[in-house]
Structure 1
């Protein structure tokens, strides 16, 4: 149990574990719909759609949630194949996996992005 927690939270030396990504091709429709059903996650997706790849760090999103809750939202988006993250020193950079997600669920992301207009 402690090993699983350490793997999820990072190592004992304070380094966090690399994020786990799911390929959009492996995502069931229900998981994609659940990820996009939440208004905070839709805001994150819309903001990422308006940014260049790897431009936005986790702390640059203006959403009314705690840091822990924001981390959970990012996790749900990764699990739905919508988000890719990579670490750059102490920062975690984000990329919307638009092309890959569109290939799996054509038109779904367009509907979400149009909602914010």
Structure 2
């Protein structure tokens, strides 16, 4: 690069205010009756009453439908490839999901699992 050539990209110049503070005050005074503030002036802070929170009635907390989703935690863990392949094959043969198979096994071991709330084939209930 020669000394006479300027680089193709240069830093942007610093922005300068287009109006002085005095001009901004004059504009605000001249347009105050129009019902809006100019972009050069900050809007007046509005004084609002703090929101009033009302407790939720017990009836409003009840689920709206008998098939309402239950809040649940996610369980993630690794299994050997042979176990994963066997689970997927069993799920394919029975036309269910692997998730359903795992929950079914937990229910068989005595854990409190509601299998009616889990769709067998993975489709969402609409």
TM-score clears 0.5: no
Band of TM-score, shorter chain: under 0.3
Task: State the TM-score, normalizing by the size of structure 2.
Answer: 0.18
Structure with max Cα Rg:
2
Task: State the TM-score, normalizing by the size of structure 1.
Answer: 0.19
Instruction: Select the structure that is richer in helix.
Output: 1
Instruction: Select the structure that is richer in strand.
Output: 1
Higher RCO, Cα 8 Å, sep 6+: 1
